[in-house]
Amino acid sequence: DLYNPLMDNDDDRAVIFCARSSAYLRLHKVKESLEDCESAILLRPNWPKVFSVLILAKTFRVTFAKEKL
């Protein structure tokens, strides 16, 4: 929730979404992480860092799904 007040600055929104996505992953909140990655990609579609976080989030999603079986 600390990232939310910073969302008013359009110039840095993609960076903030990506950073918050990484934070969500550390908390094992994969759904929220993926949502923030998608938001960052919409704002900055050619930014490689957000795609690395997206791949990591998708990997976590698959890993957690296998653990629940």
Going by C-alpha positions, the residue among 25, 6, 26 that lies closest to residue 16 is: 6
Q: Which band of pLDDT confidence, cut at 50, 70 and 90, is reported for residue 8?
A: low
- In this prediction, residue 29 carries a pLDDT of 94
Say if residues 54 and 14 touch (Cβ distance below 8 Å).
no
Is pLDDT of 10 > 70? Answer: no
Cβ neighbours of 57 (radius 10 Å): 23
Model confidence pLDDT, tens digit, residues 12-50? 889 999 999 999 999 999 999 999 999 999 999 999 999
What is the distance, to the nearest Å, from the Cα of residue 12 to the centroid of all Cα atoms in its chain? 14
